[in-house]
A and B are shown apart, each in its own frame.
Chain A
C-alpha cells in the first residue's frame, strides 16, 4: 500500500470513528447532564452551577424510591435467581444425556421464544396471570419473565457446559460420589462463570423491561422503576423533567455497573449467546 492511500485510509477511519462516537453518545448526553441542572429543560447544556438538589427530591419521593430499591430489585433478582437455577439444571442435563434431536430441540425453543414475544403475547399472558390469581404480584411478573427468558438462558448455558471437560465428573463418580454430591461439589463450582453470565443477563433484561410489569401490575406500590419512569415523564403538565432525569440516571446505574464489571472481567463479547 502506498503512502497517500494509507494516509487517506487513516483519515477515513478517524472520520468514521468520530461520526459513530458522536451519533451514539449524543442522545445519552442529555441523560448525564440534565439531572444536575437547576432548570427543567430538554436542552443539553453543561450546568453552570451543578446541583444535587434533584437527587435529593428523588430520594424524598417515596413512590419512586420504593419502585427502584424495592420493587425493581425484588423482580429482577427474583427472576435472575429462578432463571439461573432452572437454566443451569436444564443445560446440564441437555449437555450430559443423549437425547435424539436435542440440538434441534434447543434451537426450536429459542426460536419459539422469539415467536411468542412482545405485545402479541400480552393478551393471553394477562388473562393467564389473572386466572392464576397472580395479577398485581411480584410472583406473576417473575414467572412470566422466567418463561420468556429461559430458552435463551438454556441456549447460552448449554454452550458453556459443552465446553467443560467431563473428566472431573467422571473421577468424582469413580470415587463413589452420588449424583447429587457430584452436582454440588464438582459441577456447580465449574459452572459458576456461566451462571454469572446468565444471571447478569437475566437481571439486566428484567430490570429494563417495561411492558410486562406495566400490564401485570396494578397498584403503584408494586411498580418497578421501568414503569415509574414512564409514568413520570408522561405526566400531564408537571414540571418534573429534571427530577425524572435524575431518577432515570439512578435507574440505569446498575446496568452500567454490571456492564463495566462484565467488560472488565471477561470482555463484553458473544459466548454464542444472544439478547432476547
Chain B
C-alpha cells in the first residue's frame, strides 16, 4: 500500500517536474506542423498529365543507420540528397531532414512514422533492416511516398519505392582491375558480415577476378562487425602476410584496412564512396554510388502523382554506379581498356556479374 502511494507520487512528480521546464517553450516548437497546406498540393494525384508544380519546397526525410559522415553507406545517400538539393536550387526548393545513427530498428520505425505524420513528401528508409517497419507504416499514410533501400521489394504497396545498388557490377569491374594489377596472384578482401550490399560486392569482385585469371587466389575475411576498425586493420595485415598485394573491402570500418594497405604498399579498391583521399598513393579506383540518379526519378514520379510501387537499381548502365579512378595512380592503358570493355559488357548483358 505504502509502495503504491510512493509510486503514484513519483509518477505525478515526474510529470510535473518535466512539465515545468517546457510550457514556455511550447510555442517555439510549433513551426514543424505548419507545412501541412503545401503537402496537400503536392500529393493530390494530378488529374491531368501535366505535372503539378508544388508551391512549397519538396520535403524529404531520410532515416539511416550510421552517421552522415561515415564515408560509406549512410554518407552515400546524404551526399546524393545534397547534390539534388543543389540542382533544384537550395533548401527553399528542396528540404532535407535526417535521422542518423538509427541502428536500432524500433527507433528507426518511430522516426519513419513521425516523419510520415509530419507530411513529408518522401520518407527514405535507408537500410535493408527497416523494411519490416515500412511494410507496417506505409499503409497508414497513403498520401506519403516512402523509399526503401537496399532491396527490390516494394511489398506490392502503391506508396513504396524500392531501390538497390547492383554492388556486384562495380565489384566485378574492380575485380577485373585487381586481377590485372596483382603480381603475387593473391588478393585480400575485408568485409563486415556476410550479407546484403557487402556480400553482393564481394561476390561480384570474386567473379571479376575469376573471369580475368582463375589462377588468382582471393582470400576473404568477414570480421563480424561494422565498427571494429582495429580488427579490420589486422585483417588487412593478415592478407598482406598471406601474400596479397591488392586489396579491397566494404563498409565503414575498412578505413582501418586502407591504412595498413598503404603502409605495406598494397593496392586498394574502394566501394560506396570515393576513398582516394584516404590513401592517395595506393587507391586505384572506387565504385561510387550516385543515388541521385534513382532518387530524382522517384521525385519526378511523386510530383506527377505516382507515389510508389516501382523498384529502382543504380548500376553502371544508368550512371548510378561510377568507377572513379584515382588521378594520381597511373593505371596501365591496356588495363584501363580492359575495364572499359568490361563495363560495356556488363551494360549490354554479355557479362554476368553474379
A in complex with B: no
Binding site for A on B (CB under 8 A): none
Which residues of A approach B to under 8 Å, CB–CB?
none
